[in-house]
Amino acid sequence: MKISTKILVLLPVFIAFFSCDKALEEDPQNKLKPETVQDYDELLNYGYPTTRDYGTEVPLDFYVEMMTDDQDLSYFNQDANEYAIHPFSFEITHEHSSMMRGYDQAWKNFYEAIYYANVIVENIDGAEGGTAAKNYLKGEAMVLRAFSFFKLINLYAKPYDPGTAASDPGVPLKLDPIVQASSYTRNSVQEIYDQIDSDLTEGTRLMEENDQRVQSKYKLTPVAANLLASRVALYKKDYESVIEFATKVTGENSQIFDISGTTMEEAQTGWGYGQGTHYLSPDNDNVLFVYGSNEYYTYAYLPGALGVSDDFMNTFEPGDLRLYYFSYVKGPQGRIYFKNRPFPNRTGEPVRGFRVEEAYLNRAEAYAESGMLREALDDINYIRRFKFDAQFDEEDGNYYRYSVSDYSGKEEVIDIVREERRRELFGEFHRWYDLRRYGMPEIRHQYNDETYILPAGDPRYILQIPQVELDFNPSMEKNPR
């Protein structure tokens, strides 16, 4: 039997597990499983988060990007705005699902990825094949499982707080592929993060000790795993570990995507097509890992609905070419950005990725929070060196370098680092999560004559558990509203 057939046979197991109806109570029997390492390697492709929904595409978590202070709605496409207005006005609910197959598919899709990772972790040791290949694949599955839990806990639970994490409700912790008749409850935030840390530690070790020298940017590598570990540590405010993991990344790959050879005049022509197309290309040396498919619902609004906010645009300095790589301005349609177009086909199609720049940004923030201000600005300046017009006049004072002597102390440097992070990672689905860990500040959106406000610390910074899950699991605690 070919592996494709075996995978299809396994799909009903997943559907039964996640359909949230009576099928959840049934334990499927006599299901065929993969046999070789190659079989399991192909099956693990389903463990990578994607917008897949068995032949169609649904959003992962793009809607949280629409809720940030980086976004604005234009006045051009009123039909598109009927859909976009819900997340833009901070009103994400599952009652909107009939409009566009559900804004919030993250719960389903990330638990799907966890299911397949669990299948590999549970069964790979008994597969036919070499020990090194099996160990590497198990490590890859564990890191993928950690990534999915990390996304879930930062969508549906409070930001990590060491003082309350043990009692804060998180998400269900499911570590085996066995269907249970009983309903699921929420584990604590601390339990989820403990599992994330455990999976990352053991998974990365297995990958490093059994490195298969994977060349594909669509597969996790030990370097990408260390970048994820630095991000997790940053969210936990474990700054020593952030520095450790980020330094492992930069020790293996210090490449920054260089746009400094483009002049400002060149960048402002051609609507940014040539520049923005390749910012996240898998061909770039600085790109470590890409995942997910192009979410056509995500930016189907462009160029009609979503644009870049004035608040974000005003953070750019003269000479910073990223402004023109990320957006252009065209009349009533508003500002339209192209940074996330991974391939030169059509505009407005984002792809998710891990880049070396994030390692420097994570480490810079950890340095700044630890009072190592010079080191923090060194990392920031290293990135900025490749993002400004190399012919820009340094003498006029508007150039890329920051100096510790220009700032009065730690808090100002932290602000500098955070603003640089905002600019460099724009549109890559970091901003919402960053705002959460910054203390959940107030966000204001303006559209037509309406002002929409997300107050500081508002419960809507935590997404509601999908209603279908709450209906099936009455013991599962809802998030407050």
Express each pLDDT in 395-415 by its tens digit. Answer: 554 567 899 999 989 999 999
Q: State both tokens at 227.
A: 């970048």
Nearest CA to 423 among 361, 346, 338, 476?
Answer: 361
Give percent of the chain above pLDDT 70: 70
The confidence band for 60, taking pLDDT boundaries of 50, 70 and 90, is low
Q: Which residues of 24-55 are buried (b: 16+ CB within 10 A; e: fewer)?
A: beeeeeeeebbbebebbbebbebbbbbbbeee
The pLDDT, as a whole number, for residue 17 is 43
Is 410 in contact with 44 (CB distance < 8 Å)?
no
Better-predicted residue by pLDDT, 284 or 99? 284
Q: Is the pLDDT of residue 339 over 60?
A: no
Tell whether 233 is covered by a domain: no
Residues whose CB falls within 8 Å of the CB of residue 342, separated by 6 or more in sequence, listed in order: 277, 280, 281, 282, 290, 294, 349, 350, 351
Answer yes or no: do 291 and 308 share one domain.
yes
Q: Is the pLDDT of residue 347 over 60?
A: no
Answer yes or no: do 420 and 278 share one domain.
yes
Task: Give dist(CA 441, CA 461) in Å, integer.
Answer: 10
* Segment 254-265 mean pLDDT: 82
Better-predicted residue by pLDDT, 228 or 90? 228
Q: What is the DSSP letter of 358?
A: H
Answer yes or no: do 191 and 307 share one domain.
no
Answer yes or no: do 206 and 346 share one domain.
no
Domain of 16: which CATH number? Answer: 1.25.40.390
Tell whether 234 is covered by a domain: no
pLDDT per residue as tens digits for the range 100-158: 444 567 898 899 999 999 999 999 999 999 999 999 999 999 999 999 999 999 999 99
Is 158 in contact with 168 (CB distance < 8 Å)?
yes
Q: What angle do CA 401, 405, 410 make, to 5 degrees?
A: 95
Q: Is the pLDDT of residue 324 over 80?
A: no
Task: Give dist(CA 443, CA 296) in Å, integer.
Answer: 26
Is 168 in contact with 187 (CB distance < 8 Å)?
no
Mean pLDDT comparison of 189-193, 284-288, 353-357, 467-471, highest-scoring range: 189-193
* Segment 281-303 mean pLDDT: 66
The pLDDT, as a whole number, for residue 467 is 86
Tell whether 250 is covered by a domain: no
Answer yes or no: do 187 and 290 share one domain.
no
The pLDDT, as a whole number, for residue 396 is 55
The angle that helices 356-369 and 222-235 make with each other, rounded to 10 degrees, is: 30
- Which H or E run includes 151? helix 131-156
Answer yes or no: do 340 and 413 share one domain.
yes
Tell whether 51 is covered by a domain: yes
The pLDDT, as a whole number, for residue 298 is 43
Which range, of 28-37, 262-271, 305-314, averages the lowest pLDDT? 262-271
Answer yes or no: do 173 and 316 share one domain.
no
The confidence band for 318, taking pLDDT boundaries of 50, 70 and 90, is confident
The pLDDT, as a whole number, for residue 99 is 40
Task: Give dist(CA 303, CA 279) in Å, integer.
Answer: 19
Better-predicted residue by pLDDT, 216 or 361? 361
pTM: 0.86
Question: Which whole-number Å values give the CA distances from 226 to 146, 289, 342, 359, in the listed order?
Answer: 12, 12, 23, 9
The pLDDT, as a whole number, for residue 280 is 76
Which range, of 76-90, 312-326, 437-451, averages the lowest pLDDT? 76-90
Answer yes or no: do 155 and 29 share one domain.
yes
Tell whether 86 is covered by a domain: yes
Task: Give dist(CA 481, CA 474) in Å, integer.
Answer: 17
Answer yes or no: do 86 and 123 share one domain.
no
Which range, of 7-11, 116-120, 292-296, 431-435, averages the lowest pLDDT? 7-11
The whole-chain average pLDDT of the chain stands at 79
The confidence band for 56, taking pLDDT boundaries of 50, 70 and 90, is very low
Better-predicted residue by pLDDT, 216 or 446? 216
Q: Is the pLDDT of residue 62 over 50?
A: yes
Q: Name the domain boundary from 182, 213, 244.
A: 213
376: helix, coil or strand?
Answer: helix
Tell whether 243 is covered by a domain: no
Q: Is the pLDDT of residue 268 over 60?
A: no
The pLDDT, as a whole number, for residue 153 is 99
pLDDT per residue as tens digits for the range 229-249: 999 999 999 999 999 999 999
Q: Which residues of 132-152 are buried (b: 16+ CB within 10 A; e: fewer)?
A: ebbbbbbbbbbbbbbbbbbbb
Domain tally for the chain?
2
The pLDDT, as a whole number, for residue 446 is 78
Q: State both tokens at 141.
A: 């599955």
The pLDDT, as a whole number, for residue 356 is 98
Better-predicted residue by pLDDT, 317 or 117? 117
Nearest CA to 238 among 203, 196, 289?
Answer: 196
* Segment 379-395 mean pLDDT: 84
Answer yes or no: do 350 and 431 share one domain.
yes
Q: Is the pLDDT of residue 450 over 60?
A: yes
* Segment 45-53 mean pLDDT: 74
The confidence band for 295, taking pLDDT boundaries of 50, 70 and 90, is very low
Task: Give dist(CA 151, CA 194) in Å, integer.
Answer: 14
Answer yes or no: do 309 and 427 share one domain.
yes
Is 400 in contact with 385 (CB distance < 8 Å)?
yes
Full residue range of the structural domain in which residue 295 is found: 71-98+256-460
Better-predicted residue by pLDDT, 338 or 39? 39
Q: Is the pLDDT of residue 26 over 60?
A: no
Answer yes or no: do 156 and 26 share one domain.
yes
Task: Give dist(CA 93, CA 114) in Å, integer.
Answer: 24
